[in-house]
Amino acid sequence: MPEAAAPMEEYAVSEACIACDACCNDFPDIFKMNGDHTRAIAYAQAPKGKIDPWDAIYICPVDAISLIKGDLPPPPEGKKKASGHKEEAVLDPSLITDHRPWEIRWAEASRRDGESQWERMKRYGQAFELEETLDKFLFRFALPAKVPEHRFKYKWNLPDKMPDYKFDVQLTNEGKTLKVKGWLEDDRVRKLCGVANSFPDRFLCEFPLSQPAKEIQQNYNAQDKVLDIIVAKS
């Protein structure tokens, strides 16, 4: 005899949804965002036993998910709401000043305006100004100041302020080229490289000089994350 198909379970999302993406990411076969990304919808039913309904209910930080078809078992022992979110290991709790669930912090952040082109250029070593005098080139580089926005920034409790980049500055090609290398050493934030858009963990830029140079001086202002490089002409 053919086996009877498993009964189906169906969920609903209420207007309380804050579009944090958590249910869509953890249960993509059941939830997805609506067209303008303002609210999740439960677009598909799931066969009973495929997931524990409490996992779907507890993932939501604002109690917007409910089971509307199927039997809800008693809440499992040992699983608790824990303010409604699954917390990843806090990498450095002292850096986090907002202790609300990460889904709420991310939902707020995702509604703000996107980052500036200038901030993105910093991560490629392209946010600089150059002034030339009779005997010098004066480069002023703006280094990345802010960890780019991504849901994992909040899920992993990463800081908003970018840790300092390391850098290496050299004259090459017989003084005709300035080479500037920058890289991010902080392992916590580097986890986001390759996950967030336009976020490589290093840059290498070469700047041809209109006159050969003989020496460089550099000064890094950690407060403003600005690197000044003075290149003396030969």
- Footprint of ligand SF4 on this chain (CB under 6 A)? 13, 17-23, 31, 40, 59-60, 62, 64-65, 103
For residue 105, the minimal CB distance to ligand SF4 (Å) is 12
List the alpha helices (DSSP H) in the chain: 22-26, 53-59, 102-111, 117-122, 151-155, 187-190
For ligand SF4, the closer of residues 63 and 228 by Cβ is: 63
For residue 94, the minimal CB distance to ligand SF4 (Å) is 27
For ligand SF4, the closer of residues 40 and 142 by Cβ is: 40
For residue 118, the minimal CB distance to ligand SF4 (Å) is 31
For ligand SF4, the closer of residues 111 and 214 by Cβ is: 111
Contact 155, 88 (CB under 8 A): yes
Other beta carbons less than 10 A from residue 187's beta carbon: 9
Contact 21, 39 (CB under 8 A): no
Residue 53, H or E segment: helix 53-59
Q: Using CA of residue 178, residue 184, residue 185, residue 191, what is the dihedral sign?
A: negative
For residue 183, the minimal CB distance to ligand SF4 (Å) is 35
For ligand SF4, the closer of residues 59 and 231 by Cβ is: 59
The residues facing 137 across adjacent strands are 132, 231
